[in-house]
A and B are shown apart, each in its own frame.
Chain A
């Protein structure tokens, strides 16, 4: 049994087009794993499978802290926090109301939600904006709200699907640093991206290309003497 995330033999097709082909990997407890792939590599399909929005046919398996997503989806999903690439906040509700809605969907009591929301928002420097409507926040603050929300139920595994899309350099750096800190504190993190500068040498790196895992190891070892950007372009032929 693994404490983090384990995926085995995941394949998926959209009609005749193969999106994922026999993808297997593990993310251990306390590990920051960057899933790097060019656009169209299959990252979003993989995220949909990991969150049970799609189900892989065949013998593919996904386990979250030992719970099978197929056989005990409730236990598995309870352990998972997700930040989606697409905005998933209700624009007409406040930051606090968005968090409360999510907390209730995870079965938290009102008191729990209040205490955890304050803590999560404080940790991300969003407490002062808790009463503001999402519509009035900038992109960086919206992302921070989504991250705070994903952490509300104290997940053991955090999945972030290109979470820095559309953010400026400072906001990107802040969120990347914060999530690395979460991994250092024991959370298993899977961070999908097509931006090589978000990956550190000490990160576990998965390279996904045309639906297959090209590389699985530590970023520093994989890239060798080349900058990761250059190595990535050589292997995938993609200009990211």
Chain B
């Protein structure tokens, strides 16, 4: 068993080193949600009033409302970014190295998910600190309580990225898939507006949002940040993670010919 944890430590350590070496990636991951928080949310503050709905006990500003959604945004973009790095890894060959290790393939893939999730969660906390500096704060214990929720949501989104990377053969195809996955997932969720607000425009859109696993990841984060808990959100996230992980392991099964390409 200790051998498995040595591999986990190495893979997580490598992801962390890559993250440290790519400072511009770190900054980009932070700038995106901060622009939404400090520019978009400020602009829409007057237009979008949020009434009292769980887990909130009082009226809240729009900036406060979208913080959990922006935490989810960081996890979503990073999950996809990590799958981008998997496609890249596969192209430059380091994925071959990983997959020819004598450990079970599902474990190696799970290690990569954990590594990328830890890096994402570090960025979420950095974002929460900056939001706090601008006066958008949560209950102090909420910052601790949200950690397992962030890890769960991060694993789910990284697993989705892993599924995509197992079916994408070239980096060029990846950009297109990003547009068909990230943006619909983000905008068809409760990240920027509550579902009841969406229902005012269209019940169908509200129903689509309610089926989106990202909605439940955001709600899980939202509840935990306010020291509350949502069983439906947790069940959705756990089930989605299991499905995505299963699909990824299937996608990386050598019998399916993951590395199938004619090189001669």
Contact = CB atoms under 8 A, between A and B. Distances in A.
A48 B259 contact: yes
B9 A104 contact: yes
Interface stretch (A1-9, A74-82, A177-185, A217-225): A74-82
A165 B104 CA distance: 31
A172 interface: no
Nearest to A81: B100
Nearest to A53: B259
Given A19-B262, A45-B263, A53-B258, A92 B18 contact: yes
A73 B14 CA distance: 25
Interface residues of A, number: 44
A20 B135 CA distance: 65
Contacts of B17: 92-93, 97
A104 B2 CA distance: 11
Secondary structure of the B contact surface, majority rule: helix
Interface residues of B, number: 35
A27 B80 CA distance: 43
B14 A101 contact: yes
B102 A73 contact: yes
Interface in A1-53: 14, 17, 19, 39-45, 48, 51-53
B103 interface: yes
A54 B102 contact: no
Given A45-B263, A107-B6, A77 B92 contact: no
Contacts of B145: none
Interface in B1-53: 2-4, 6-7, 9-11, 13-14, 17-18, 21
B93 A88 contact: yes
Contacts of B96: 51, 53, 84, 86, 88
B260 A54 contact: yes
A138 interface: no
A86 B93 contact: yes
Contact of A87 (B4, B93, B104, B108): B93
A55 interface: yes
A118 to B, nearest CB: 18
Most buried by B among A53, A88, A90, A105: A105
A76 B259 CA distance: 20
A48 B99 CA distance: 11
Given A14-B260, A73-B102, A107 B7 contact: yes
Interface string A104-119: 1111110000000000
A120 B21 CA distance: 27
A102 B100 contact: no
Interface in B237-264: 254-255, 257-260, 262-264
A100 interface: yes
A78 B7 CA distance: 14
Contact of B262 (A14, A82, A102, A103): A14
B98 interface: yes
Given A45-B264, A84-B93, A105 B255 contact: no
Given A41-B264, A107-B3, A107-B103, A88 B257 contact: no
B9 A105 contact: no
A74 B259 contact: no
B100 A54 contact: no
Nearest to A72: B102
Nearest to B108: A105
B204 interface: no
Contact of A40 (B93, B102, B103, B264): B264
Given A88-B97, A107-B103, A54 B254 contact: yes
Contacts of A109: 6
Nearest to B258: A53
B126 interface: no
A94 B147 CA distance: 32
B260 A88 contact: no
B101 A54 contact: no
A65 B185 CA distance: 49
Contacts of B260: 14, 54
Given A40-B264, A52-B254, A86-B93, A77 B100 contact: yes
19 contacts: A52-B100, A53-B99, A54-B257, A54-B259, A55-B257, A73-B102, A74-B103, A74-B104, A75-B102, A77-B100, A84-B96, A86-B92, A86-B96, A88-B92, A90-B14, A97-B17, A107-B4, A107-B7, A108-B6
Given A48-B259, A101-B13, A108-B6, 5 more contacts: A52-B99, A104-B6, A105-B103, A106-B102, A107-B6
Interface of A: 14, 17, 19, 39-45, 48, 51-55, 73-78, 80, 82, 84-90, 92-93, 97, 100-109
